[in-house]
Each structure stands twice: as structure tokens, then as C-alpha cells.
Amino acid sequence: MKPTVLLAEATTPAGDHLELYSHDENYFLKANGAQLMTSFSHGSEVELARLGCEPIRLATQPHVLIGGLGLGYTLAEACRSLPQKGARFTVAEVVPEMVAWNKAHLSHLHPGLWEDLRVEYHFGDVGKLIGKSTEAFNAILLNTDDGLEAFVGQNNDALYTQEGLTSLAAALKLGGLLAVWSSKEDKTFEKRLRLAGFDVSRAEVPAASRGKQRRRHTIWLARNGEYEPKRRPQQP
């Protein structure tokens, strides 16, 4: 039997304990002893980026905010989905060690990702970054903790309140898309999205990208109005 190896551990600003493990060529992240995410079951993390970036594939300079780095699958797919040189990807990560872990232990999972100069990091609370941003992003991809109820750190709960969703709408450009990952459906949250002015749809996607794909995760796609290109003034 192959052993389970503890690769790294860290403490979040909220006092939660994170651990990165490897087992039989797979990797998994634990928070306070409970499994948070794995390299084996990452299909929905990829779909979060694919669906969230789809509407802006033709933009010349799209700016994408990703809340939570995790094991890098959402960031990697966003970079693949938007290959244009003018694209920007801001990753808000409250635990700086997560970036170091990805580079040191998981770089082979996403070849070339960590050399992509279009990626920048904001080490701090994604909610605070959103709160001070106005019409800054074409897409916001949120996969914080275990979805709508914060698994690690209570600060992320505020993102999904009515006030938090209003701030998210303000941080998006007109026609921008908010994509939110969750391990389960939540009709109340969908109502809050609509109250915040979003045009909402929901996708049920496989949790895993291989093996049995019976387990499903939910991704909400909330558009911030319709993009209207600026018209040139008519000559008199």
C-alpha cells in the first residue's frame, strides 16, 4: 500500500489549519482535518473557468478575477480559455503559501502556468478587493472554500449576502459574468442573485473529470446586464 505523505501545512489568517497531502500520484488539500479538494476530482473547478470565460473569449483585453487558487485547476483553465496576450488574471488568495505549494509540489499538473506573465496575485481577502473595485472585471470566478457556506474562514460568507452580491455586480463591467461554484444547489442564493440585478442561469456539472461522474456540483452564471458598445457620434 502506497503511503499518504504530508507535503506542507499552513495556518490561515482566521486560524484554520491547511494541509497538502499526496497519495498514489494524487494530491488533496485538507482544512481543519476535513478534505477540501483533490487533484482526482477537479472537473467542476475546470468547468467554473470554462463557463465563466466563454462569453469573453473574443475580448482583446479581458480581466478575470479568481477568488481562491486551490490546486490551480480554475486558473489553468481560465488561461487556456483566454489565450490572448492582452488578457489579465488576478488571483485573490488569502494564504500566500498556496502559491508556493502549487509551484513546489504541483507544477507538473499545469505545465507553463507559473511562467504565464498575465497572472498576478492579490494576497488578501477577495471580498475587500471586490469592495474597492468598480467596473474592473469582465469575469469573476468564485470558488472560495466549500461554496456558499464558508468552509474555511467566515469572512467569505459576506460575499454571498445581498450586500456582497451588490458589491460583486459593481465590480463587474457591464455585461460581465459572475460564476460561482458550490457543492450543492441553493434556491435562496439564486433569488439573491436576481435581487442584485443579475440575469441568472445554473449549470450542473460533473465533480470529477475522470472515473465515475455521478456526483454533480452547481455553478451559477450571473450576468451583469447586457454589453452595449459605444457608438461614435454622428457627424453634423
Alpha-carbon dihedral sign for residues 52, 53, 54, 56:
positive
DSSP assignment, residue 54?
G
Looking at residue 225, its pLDDT comes to 85
Q: Is the pLDDT of residue 156 over 80?
A: no
Q: Convert the pLDDT of each residue in 61-74 to its tens digit.
A: 999 999 999 999 99
Q: How confident is the model at residue 187 (pLDDT cuts 50, 70, 90)?
A: confident
Nine cell digits for residue 23 = 497519495
Region 69-84: mean pLDDT is 97
DSSP assignment, residue 177?
E
Looking at residue 36, its pLDDT comes to 87
**Higher pLDDT, residue 211 or 30:** 30
Q: Is the pLDDT of residue 84 over 90?
A: yes
Q: What are the two backbone dihedrals, phi and then psi, of residue 112, each rounded to the nearest 5 degrees?
A: 85, -15
Which domains, from first to last, does the chain contain?
40-223 (3.40.50.150)
In the predicted model, what is the mean pLDDT of the chain? 88
Question: Closest by alpha carbon to 10, among 38, 37, 31, 34?
Answer: 31
The full DSSP string for 8-40 is EEEE-TTS-EEEEEEETTEEEEEETTEEEEESS
Question: Closest by alpha carbon to 118, among 87, 78, 140, 93?
Answer: 87
Q: Is 158 helix (H, G, I), strand (E, B) or coil?
A: helix
Q: In the chain, where does DSSP find H-type helix?
A: 43-53, 73-81, 97-105, 126-131, 162-171, 187-195
Region 205-216: mean pLDDT is 73
Looking at residue 212, its pLDDT comes to 59
Max CA separation in the chain (angstroms): 81
Q: Convert the pLDDT of each residue in 38-51 to its tens digit.
A: 998 899 999 999 99
Looking at residue 153, its pLDDT comes to 46
Nine cell digits for residue 117 = 506573465
Q: How confident is the model at residue 144 (pLDDT cuts 50, 70, 90)?
A: low
Give the helix/strand (H/E) hosting 139: strand 137-142
Q: Is the pLDDT of residue 82 over 70?
A: yes
Question: Closest by alpha carbon to 179, among 194, 200, 163?
Answer: 200
Q: Is the pLDDT of residue 184 over 90?
A: no
Cα–Cα dist 16/199, whole Å: 35
Q: Are 220 and 52 in contact (CB under 8 A)?
A: no
pTM: 0.89
Q: Is the pLDDT of residue 130 over 80?
A: yes
Q: Is the pLDDT of residue 99 over 90?
A: yes
Q: Is the pLDDT of residue 28 over 70?
A: yes
**Higher pLDDT, residue 214 or 163:** 163
Question: Closest by alpha carbon to 32, among 127, 109, 146?
Answer: 146
